[in-house]
């Protein structure tokens, strides 16, 4: 039996805050708190809203409905058993001055008493209880008064912890992203390093390095080195301007020799044998063995081993280069496929390019690093490619599944992982009502949230068969209206900031509508 | 590295002995700059070279370029197996004029 008076109040405090220690999952915590409120007040419906970061809107966090009633809006139907289906409470509410005070409100879920929840004089959310006629029943009021503050405190802490967990998950995801980004390069480096070590051991050589040519025109640079005295490898400048090596062009046989004898002597190098690594006419790199002490004979057996290791390293470098070339060509094909989809209808002509420009503008407004801006742009250029090859009879399925199909077309390429994740999630909604996975909030990768905003803007600015292009001021109003539901509020705010400069229209469209 | 020079059949025969590494390449650079005077015919006898590395190969390539620039001629002769393999590995065998024996090298210079 619940104790009354001061003792009962303390027990409620303990029970409410105890939820935070007994349960760690956010939704489950809120369910337990609502159950507690419902039990104490004797009112079967309880809904909790919390203010968003901007302080302008309340978002429904959890609902507790009378037994046997399924709320169709919240999707929170209890398991098992048939029950009546009634509209649930609204998913979000605009904040008004009236929310500062307790009042009775008529909602799709019935007549409820709206109780403000505050901390340190600031409104943080609303607790809506019902059904009521005009005011709370006496028992409910007596039960509610002493628990309003601990309830607000518990909800506030639960949300803060939830946000922290999401940030932690996001940080862990970023670490995973970095690992994936470095994965292929690391494998190559590990293999080259292993071969280098084997070559040094089997030829009895003191030190060695593998240098590679940057396929995008950069200079020859050491990729892996072993056995050098401290600081020596760093002083080896292998750029053509430095002239340490003389590497004849492929037309002259691609011969490689050590040219700068003075530098070699200054670094204490006694002997150095460098083998050029080339794929036909394309230089790939240099494999070099170095001795500092007694010059050792590179006898026939050692030279055979050296040639074998050089051949294996060349193969690795060539395969890495081939895969990079393949990726570039494959991506071009995917982009062309996406462009060909746009060309089918007048309204979608240039859609992918426009999406890329708009998405890039939003990504820059979010001050994302350059590689993430590039990844978002690439994702935008191919985001609807999953619609390719769809026959009319399967159009609905394709429409739902095209983000995942598109993501699968690019996910195994050595691209920034944001590319495939953004393509796969560009139709998800921030409130969880998008498709195909129904992801919610920060479960949706940021790239996908940016593409979602870009797609909305481009579609509104393009118009459809019935409506002409929507002017910028009305698009701004749409952005505001969809912030927090369809769009991530942070992305929506950045989009709003970038909106005046975003290339939404062709020259003939601007100002129409 | 030991170096000895003799005249044979109108050519200077330079016999190299020991390791042709960084230190030896620095010495040989000065010697070759002297002997490769305009119109000179020079044969480098490599039969006693125990080791050659990229610096040694480099100085031989430089000597060929210098000879071309000065209107002189230079050939390499009698490289031991490992030395010949180093020319192949560094892909310099196509830039250098290499003969299996001193006699064949001298014959080429006389032609």
Chain B: closest CA distance from residue A294 (Å):
11
Who contacts A49 (Cβ-Cβ below 8 Å, separation ≥6)?
Answer: A58, A59, A60, A61, A92, A93, A125, A126, A127, A128
Query: What per-residue confidence (pLDDT) applies to A241?
Result: 81
Query: What per-residue confidence (pLDDT) applies to A487?
Result: 96
Query: What per-residue confidence (pLDDT) applies to A183?
Result: 52
E strands, A410-490, are none
A/B interface, count of CB pairs below 8 Å: 103
Is the Cβ pair A256, B91 closer than 8 Å?
yes
**CA A348/CA A463 separation, integer angstroms:** 10
Average pLDDT, stretch B73-87?
A: 94
Instruction: Specify whether the CB–CB gap between B48 and B18 falls below 8 A.
Output: yes
Nearest CA in chain A to B62: A259
Query: What per-residue confidence (pLDDT) applies to A74?
Result: 41
Query: What per-residue confidence (pLDDT) applies to A4?
Result: 41
Other CB atoms within 10 A of residue B65 CB: 12
Is the Cβ pair A248, B95 closer than 8 Å?
yes
Is the Cβ pair A298, B51 closer than 8 Å?
yes
Strand partners, A213: A220
As a whole number of Å, the CA-based R_g of chain B is 12
Instruction: Specify whether the CB–CB gap between A376 and A360 falls below 8 A.
Output: yes
Contacts of A273 in chain B (CB under 8 A): 53-54, 86, 89-90
Chain B: closest CA distance from residue A241 (Å):
17
Chain B: closest CA distance from residue A401 (Å):
55
Contacts of A276 in chain B (CB under 8 A): 90-91
H/E segment holding residue A156: helix A148-203
Q: Is the peptide bond before A436 cis (omega within 30 degrees of 0)?
A: yes
Domain residue limits, chain B: 2-110
Query: What per-residue confidence (pLDDT) applies to A5?
Result: 42
H/E segment holding residue A333: helix A300-342
Chain B: closest CA distance from residue A289 (Å):
10
Is the Cβ pair A256, B90 closer than 8 Å?
yes
Closest CA to B51 of B93, B82, B30, B29: B82
Closest CA to B55 of A35, A298, A282, A285: A298
Superfamily of domain B2-110 in CATH is: STAS domain (3.30.750.24)
Query: What per-residue confidence (pLDDT) applies to A395?
Result: 63
Nearest CA in chain B to A308: B89
Cβ–Cβ contact A40 with B under 8 A: no
Cβ–Cβ contact A273 with B under 8 A: yes
Contacts of B50 in chain A (CB under 8 A): 297
Nearest CA in chain B to A296: B51
Strand order across the B41-52 sheet: B2-8, B11-20, B41-52, B73-77, B98-99
How many residues would you count in chain B? 111
Query: What per-residue confidence (pLDDT) applies to A75?
Result: 38
Cβ–Cβ contact A508 with B under 8 A: no
pLDDT beneath 70, residues of chain A = 1-9, 68-87, 167-187, 217, 249-253, 294-300, 346, 389-398, 507-513
Nearest CB among B22, B90, B95 relative to A261 is that of: B22
pLDDT digits (tens, 9 = 90+) for A125-157: 999 998 999 889 988 898 888 888 888 988 988
Is the Cβ pair A296, B51 closer than 8 Å?
yes
Chain A: closest CA distance from residue B70 (Å):
20
Nearest CB among A246, A252, A295 relative to B51 is that of: A295
Is the Cβ pair A265, B95 closer than 8 Å?
no
Burial of residue A110 (CB within 10 Å: 0-12, 13-18, 19+) is: middle
What are φ and ψ of residue A134, in 5° steps?
Answer: -120, -30
Instruction: State the DSSP code for A487.
Output: B
Instruction: Specify whether the CB–CB gap between A324 and A215 falls below 8 A.
Output: yes
Query: What per-residue confidence (pLDDT) applies to A390?
Result: 58
**CA A48/CA A46 separation, integer angstroms:** 7
pLDDT digits (tens, 9 = 90+) for A443-465: 999 999 999 999 999 999 988 77
Between β-strands B41-52 and B11-20, what pairing exists: parallel, antiparallel or unpaired? parallel
């Amino acid at each position: 039996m619940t104790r009354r008076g001061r003792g009962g109040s303390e027990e409620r405090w303990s029970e409410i805050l105890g939820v935070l220690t007994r349960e760690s999952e956010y939704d489950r915590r809120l369910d337990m708190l609502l159950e507690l409120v419902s039990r104490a007040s004797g009112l079967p419906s309880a809904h909790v809203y919390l203010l968003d970061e901007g302080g302008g809107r309340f978002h429904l966090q959890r609902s507790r409905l009378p037994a046997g009633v399924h709320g169709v809006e919240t999707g929170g139907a209890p398991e098992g058993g048939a029950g009546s289906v009634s509209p649930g409470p609204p998913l979000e509410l605009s904040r008004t001055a009236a929310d500062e005070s307790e009042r009775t409100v008529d909602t799709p879920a019935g007549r409820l008493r709206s109780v403000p929840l505050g901390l340190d004089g600031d409104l943080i959310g609303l607790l809506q209880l019902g059904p009521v006629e005009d005011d709370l029943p006496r028992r409910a009021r007596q039960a509610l008064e002493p628990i309003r503050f601990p309830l607000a405190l518990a909800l506030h802490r639960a949300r803060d912890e939830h946000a922290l967990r999401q940030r932690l998950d996001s940080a862990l995801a970023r670490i995973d992203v970095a690992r994936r980004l470095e994965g292929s390069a690391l494998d190559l480096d590990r293999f080259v390093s292993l071969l280098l070590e084997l070559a040094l051991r089997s030829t009895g050589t003191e030190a060695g390095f593998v240098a590679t040519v940057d396929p995008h025109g950069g200079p020859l640079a050491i990729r892996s080195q072993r056995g050098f005295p401290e600081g020596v490898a760093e002083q080896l400048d292998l750029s053509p301007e430095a002239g340490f090596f003389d590497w004849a062009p492929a037309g002259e046989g691609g011969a490689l020799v050590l040219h700068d004898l003075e530098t070699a002597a200054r670094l204490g190098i006694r002997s150095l044998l460098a083998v050029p690594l080339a794929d036909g006419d394309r230089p790939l790199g240099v494999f070099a063995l170095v001795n500092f002490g007694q010059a050792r004979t590179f006898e026939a057996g050692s030279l055979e081993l050296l040639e074998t290791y050089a051949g294996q390293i060349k193969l690795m470098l060539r395969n890495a280069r081939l895969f990079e070339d393949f990726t570039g060509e494959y991506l071009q094909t995917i982009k062309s496929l996406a462009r060909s989809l746009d060309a089918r209808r007048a309204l979608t002509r240039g859609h992918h390019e426009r999406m890329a420009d708009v998405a890039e503008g939003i990504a820059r407004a979010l001050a994302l690093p350059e590689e993430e801006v590039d990844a978002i742009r690439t994702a935008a250029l191919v985001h609807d490619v999953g619609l390719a090859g769809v026959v009319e009879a399967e159009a609905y399925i394709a429409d739902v599944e095209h983000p995942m199909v598109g993501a699968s077309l690019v996910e195994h390429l050595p691209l920034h992982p944001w590319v495939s994740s953004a393509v796969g999630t560009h139709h998800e909604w921030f409130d969880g009502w998008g498709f195909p996975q129904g992801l919610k909030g920060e479960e949706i990768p940021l790239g996908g949230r940016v593409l979602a905003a870009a797609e909305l803007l481009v579609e509104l600015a393009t118009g459809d068969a019935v409506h002409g292009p929507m002017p910028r001021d009305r698009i701004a109003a749409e952005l505001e209206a969809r912030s927090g539901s369809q769009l991530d509020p942070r992305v929506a705010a950045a989009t709003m900031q970038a909106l005046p400069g975003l290339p939404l229209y062709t020259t003939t469209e601007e100002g129409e509508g | 590295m030991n170096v000895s020079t003799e005249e044979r059949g109108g050519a200077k025969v330079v016999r190299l002995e020991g390791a042709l590494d960084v230190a030896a390449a620095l010495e040989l650079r000065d010697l070759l700059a002297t002997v490769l005077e305009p119109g000179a015919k020079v044969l480098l006898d490599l039969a006693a070279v125990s080791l050659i590395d990229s610096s040694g190969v480099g100085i031989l390539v430089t000597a060929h370029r210098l000879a071309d620039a000065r209107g002189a001629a230079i050939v390499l002769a009698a490289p031991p197996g490992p030395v010949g393999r180093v020319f192949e590995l560094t892909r310099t065998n196509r830039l250098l004029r290499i003969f299996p024996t001193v006699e064949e090298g001298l014959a080429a210079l006389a032609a």
